[in-house]
Structure 1
Amino acid sequence: MGKEASGGSRSRFEMFSNIDEAAINRKLPKELLLRHSKILGDQLHIDAYGFRRDGRVVENISKRCGGFLRKLSLRGCLGVGDSALRIFAQNCRSIEVLSLNGCTKITDTEGCPLLEKLSISWCDQVSTDGLQVVARCCPGLRGLFLKGCTQVGDEALKHIGARCANLLTLNLQTCSQVTDEGLVAVCQGCPRLQALCVSGCSSLTDVVLNALGLNCPYLRILEVARCSHLTDVGFTTLARNCHELEKMDLEECVQITDATLIQLSIHCPRLQVLSLSHCELITDDGIRHLGSGPCAHDRLEVVELDNCPLITDASLEHLKVCHSLDRIELYDCQQITRAGIKRLRTHLPNIKVHAYFAPVTPPPSVGGSRQRFCRCCVLL
């Protein structure tokens, strides 16, 4: 997830430099003032990131652009509130991508019928009522980003599951009120789901992994970091049914063992990125299965094994056949040695290796005290 899809690229149009209408008139390209763009045809894409304090810019944009506006990013526009967004929704009925990241004044507002991507991450005043409206008014929604929306819970997700059958991407990172019940509703109602981030939703259990496996066969990205109740049982169901998985973040899924890696190695041939940081039960045997799986030779690009205390140089030997491996993270893997990394490099000369190595403690000084050395982070 993440990771968020909206608000990434800059607009092709010159950015505004003032908030009043006269300044906007001077700064907007002539094509926009005429409600037509020769560069993008009849579609206008605007990033208003610089307008952090005054919501009037949104009203003016909506009046000038009207139905020609397709994409708008208002990320970090702290002055934008419900009234400005209400006018915007009335004037820009053709909007398809809307980013409101960090617009903390936004609460619950009406949706737009053609909206496909909505990002309201960190808008912590948005509640179930607002998402119910979004679900009802935006049936074509394909991407929904709710990172840090602390009021969002299961009832909101039930509305999404019931109304947004075309949803492909859902980010619920740190939405701590979300439980199995809400996610099951999404899985059952959104069978085309391809990317799900629920990192930090600490109450989730294997029920969610089972629901994903049974309902969402096209899942490609799953981020479940810090979901400590998930186990091998749930990941077995997931792996056996979701063969399109490409990226998995399992950091701090502390109950998983080599059994999960065995299932992933057998059933997930497209796996490219796998984070197992702080999965302290993972051993060399699990990595051996991963290195012998179908993803190993031409797919696997990143493996993160930070704070996996049972991992030794043997794991590096198992990974040397992964010719696509670009990066491996080994922070605080006490049994990994420089010699092991050097041997890995003879097979993968371009690999980036991040590891901790503690200097050898020197003998006592004349005064009897011992000098302390900090562990050092090295890029090898």
Structure 2
Amino acid sequence: MRGRDMINTHLPDELIVEVFRRLDSKVGRDACSLVCKRWLGLERLSRTTLRIGASGTADLFVRLLSRRFTNVKSVHVDERLSISFPVKMICCISMLQGRQKRRKGHAPSSKVDDGTKLSDSSETVESSCLSDAGLTLLGEGFPKLEKLSLIWCSNVSSVGLRSLAERCRSLRSLDLQGCYIGDQGLAAVGEFCKQLKDLSLRFCEGLTDAGLVELVLGCGKSLKSLSVAACAKIGDLSMEAVGAHCISLETLSLDSEFMQDRGLLAVARGCKILKVLKLQCVNVTDEVLKAVGVSCSSLEQLSLNSFQKFTDVGLLSVGHGCKKLRNLTLSDCAFVTDEGVGAIATGCKELTHLEINGCHNIGTTGLVSVGRYCLNLTELALLYCQRISNSALLEIGKSCKLLQALHLVDCSSIGDDAICSIARGCRNLKKLHIRRCYEIGDAAIIAVGEYCKSLTDLSLRFCDRVGDEALIAVGQGCSLTHLNVSGCHQIGDDGIIAIARGCPRLSYLDVSVLQNLGDMAMAELGEGCPLLKDIVLSHCRQITDAGLSHLVRSCPMLESCHMVYCPRITSSGVATVVSGCPNMKKILVEKSKVSERTQRRAGSIISYLCLDL
């Protein structure tokens, strides 16, 4: 009834908090918090996750957040991300600094007059980052913390990490990527955080085997996921400790130039329920994969990158012992051949995802075996595979009816016949990405448009033989949301117009380097694709300000626009994009095409092409 507050009168706090927790978007939650003071307080109570960028006076910023959001369980601090403070927030931080100094008997260093002038604190906002004191404040303010990510926080050390670990004993997930944490800090986590399940140590140059061994001794029994990369002083000794104590480990990701067989053999033999194994270790040999095949029967995902010392022998063991394997990636494995791939295909018939990248000794025979035996295959990626020919994809198209995604890059021996076979046999195909496969032309893509009605994501980059006829067929048969045809020189207005008329749900479009594309296509896109959010027009010589105007007028959801090296787009066209797109977040353009007025109005979202390199 009008004039009656039925919600606040009848609904208890607990029910309103539960409603807030079920809201998916931050925008929706923020809108609800503006209804009244009660809702503002309850919404703050319902917040469980905070993300913090490279915030000036980060330590004090953490204190402010902890006072407002008391039930936070997940904090993500990433100092690669920049944020801009509202003036009001800067003033709050300045006032808090002043209070602290007055308590210590010092005069405040800056004066805030009317909430708009700030001298010293504005410089601090730009220069400070999270420190050990900030970690202590995190521990004091968020004692219920379960997940913490500290990404490239260069000023934190073992002292701060120990202080946080003492206070946050319910910590379950810790990411220290790029932090110069010492062994003492990691040992403290093992001592106090007995429930830790996920640990990421990537680019932590200050760590040695001693720190990881101490952590494993303290909380190894609970650890389920471990990631180590570019830690030169972590080697076989710590992996032996992992194998001995981490009996619940399910995921191991390891990137190391110094790791030998000894440590990984201990992991394979000791971590019997391992499900995910991602390795980039140039010195590891077949002995490790043989142990994996014998001991890790629960393995579901295996990624092998840049291996120079293992051969088909290791894959034969995996194929024989890891019957549950679903996802396999082979990248730059020089000595793996068709025999190894065939062993995986015949032994691991539940395989759903396969990626082969730069393995130059793998050819058609191995992929034919995959087609014959891996009938549940849903995603296939062949990158830089010069020896794989049409016959392989003919077999895939014939047998793998569940295939949903196909990625091809620089596969010079694959042509129209292969893609036609995929189109006719794999009617559930949703994603097709092809780059620099010069034997694939209109006939292949026409077949895709005719048979693959579920296709939503199509990328044809620098495929010289694909033209307008192909896109006309796709526009008539598919409802795309993503399309990339950059560098396909035969595509012009007719093909893009067909897409605009047939794909009203299109949200991403890359038509860069299309020399024959003009304003008519832009006008049709504006009329037919109101959901368009991202468009790349770079190096399109025929598009003018008029075409941009037509596009912008009917695409209110546009968020990003790249238009460098478009000689017929002027500063007027750039201004039109800025004024006509209220949701715009990024514009990439030459600096000479941005007027002073446009710069003042939208300087924060404009990026310039760097020409000074």
Task: For 1:348 and 1:359, locate their aligned partners in 2 and report how far apart those are by CA, in whole Å.
Answer: 21
Alignment partner, residue 325 of structure 1 = 506
Aligned: 1:357 with 2:564: no
Map of 2:553 onto structure 1: none
Does 2:285 align with 1:107? yes
Deviation at 1:79, TM superposition (A): 2.6
Question: Aligned equivalents of 1:357 and 1:262: distance in 2?
Answer: 25
| Counterpart-to-counterpart distance in 1, 2:257 and 2:481 | 39
Instruction: Find the counterpart in structure 2 of residue 344 from structure 1.
Output: 525
Q: Distance in 2 between matches of 1:270 and 1:351?
A: 21
Q: Is 2:351 aligned against 1:173? A: no
Residue 312 of structure 1: aligned partner: 492
For residue 249 of structure 1, what is the aligned residue in structure 2?
433
Q: Counterpart of 2:455 in 1: which secondary structure?
A: coil
Amino acid at match of 2:432: M
Q: Which residue of structure 1 aligns with residue 226 of structure 2? A: 46
Contact 2:221 2:245 in 1 (8 A): no
Q: Is the 8 A contact 1:225 1:253 kept in 2?
A: yes
Q: Distance in 1 between matches of 2:172 and 2:332?
A: 29
Shift of 1:179: 0.8
Q: Identify, as 1 or 2, the structure richer in helix.
A: 2
CA contact (8 A) 1:184 1:208 kept: yes
Following superposition, the deviation at residue 353 of structure 1 comes to 2.0
Cα deviation, residue 209, structure 1: 1.3
Instruction: Return the offset for 1:211.
Output: 0.6
Give the structure 2 partner of residue 96 of structure 1.
275
Q: Is the 8 A contact 1:328 1:354 kept in 2?
A: yes
Instruction: Output the CA distance in 1 between the equivalents of 2:172 and 2:408.
Output: 36
Deviation at 1:242, TM superposition (A): 0.6
Aligned residue number for residue 367 of structure 1 = none
Provide the C-alpha distance between the structure 1 equivalents of 2:481 and 2:232, rounded to a whole number of angstroms: 39
1:82 to 2:82 alignment: no
1:224 aligns with 2:408: yes
What are the within-5 Å matches in structure 2 for residues 135-154 of structure 1? 135-154=319-338
SS in structure 1 opposite 2:265? helix
2:188 aligned residue: 26
1:264 and 1:233 map into 2 onto residues whose CA distance is: 12
Q: 1:325 to 1:255 in 2, by over 3 A?
A: same
Which blocks of at least 5 consecutive residues in structure 1 are unaligned?
Answer: 1-8, 38-42, 361-373
* Distance change >3 Å, CA 313–CA 173, structure 1 → 2: same
Whole-Å separation in 2 of the counterparts to 1:158 and 1:339? 51
Q: Of residues 470, 481, 488 in structure 2, which corresponds to 1:301?
A: 481
Deviations 1:327-356 (A, max 9, x none): 222222110124532441233243422121
Change (3 A) 1:49 1:72: same
Higher relative CO (CA 8 A, sep ≥ 6), structure 1 or 2? 1
Match of 1:58 in 2: 239
Amino acid at match of 2:483: V
Superposition deviation, residue 46 in structure 1: 2.2
Which residue is equivalent to 2:318?
A: 134
Q: Give, in angstroms, the shift of residue 123 of structure 1.
A: 2.5
**In 2, distance between residues paired with 1:218 and 1:234?**
17
Task: Normalising by structure 2, report the TM-score.
Answer: 0.53
Give SS of 2:435's match.
coil
* Structure 2, unpaired ranges of 5+: 1-147, 150-170, 197-217, 544-563, 568-586, 590-613
Q: In structure 1, what is the Cα distance between the partners aligned to 2:304 and 2:430?
A: 26
Q: What residue identity is the alignment partner of 1:156? A: G
1:19-67 per-position Cα deviation (integer Å, ceiling 9, x unaligned):
97x8754333313535554xxxxx722223363442122222222212x
Contact 1:53 1:78 in 2 (8 A): no
What SS does structure 2 have at the residue aligned with 1:182? Answer: helix
Tell me which moved more, 350-359 or 169-178.
350-359
Q: 2-side partners of 1:358 and 1:265: how far apart?
A: 28
Distance 1:126 1:302, change over 3 A: farther
1:260 pairs with one of 444, 464, 488: 444
The one-letter code of the counterpart of 1:230 is I
CA contact (8 A) 2:516 2:542 kept: no
RMSD: 2.7
- Residue 144 of structure 1, CA deviation: 0.9
Where 2:305 maps in the other structure, the secondary structure is coil
Counterpart among 220, 235, 240 of residue 424 in structure 2:
240
Shift in CA distance, 185/192, structure 1 to aligned 2, threshold 3 Å: same
Residue 282, structure 1, aligned to residue 466, structure 2: yes
Q: How far is 1:163 from its partner?
A: 0.7
The amino acid of 2:489's aligned partner reads P
Distance 2:172 2:566 in 1: 44
Pairwise CA distance, 1:267: 1.4
Contact 2:515-2:542 within 8 A present in 1 as well: no
CA–CA distance in 1 between the matches of 2:261 and 2:271?
Answer: 15
The answer on whether the counterparts of 1:247 and 1:272 sit within 8 Å (CA) in structure 2 is yes
Cα pair 1:228 1:255 within 8 Å, conserved: yes
Q: Matched residues in 2 for 1:197 and 1:340: separation?
A: 32
- Structure 1 residues 303 and 34 mapped into 2: Cα distance closer, same or farther (>3 Å)? closer
Partner of 1:371: none
When residues 54 and 376 of structure 1 are mapped into structure 2, their CA distance, relative to the original with a 3 A threshold, is farther
Work out whether residues 121 and 149 of structure 1, in 8 Å CA contact, stay in contact via their aligned partners in 2.
yes
Larger radius of gyration: 2
Is the 8 Å Cα contact of residues 375 and 401 (structure 2) preserved in structure 1? yes
Supply the AA of the counterpart residue of 1:328. Answer: L
**Alignment partners' CA distance in 1, 2:181 and 2:525:** 56
How far apart, in 2, do the equivalents of 1:187 and 1:177 lie? 18
Superposed, 1:155-170 pairs within 5 Å as: 155-170=339-354
Q: In the alignment, is the contact (CA less than 8 A) between 2:172 and 2:195 conserved in 1?
A: no
Please state how far the C-alpha of 1:194 moved relative to its aligned partner.
1.1
Q: Is the 8 A contact 1:359 1:375 kept in 2?
A: no
- In structure 1, the residue matched to 2:208 is none
Does the 8 Å CA contact 1:120/1:146 hold for their aligned counterparts?
yes
**Matching residue of 1:69:** 249
Q: 1:81 to 1:345 in 2, by over 3 A?
A: farther
**1:78 CA drift (Å):** 2.8
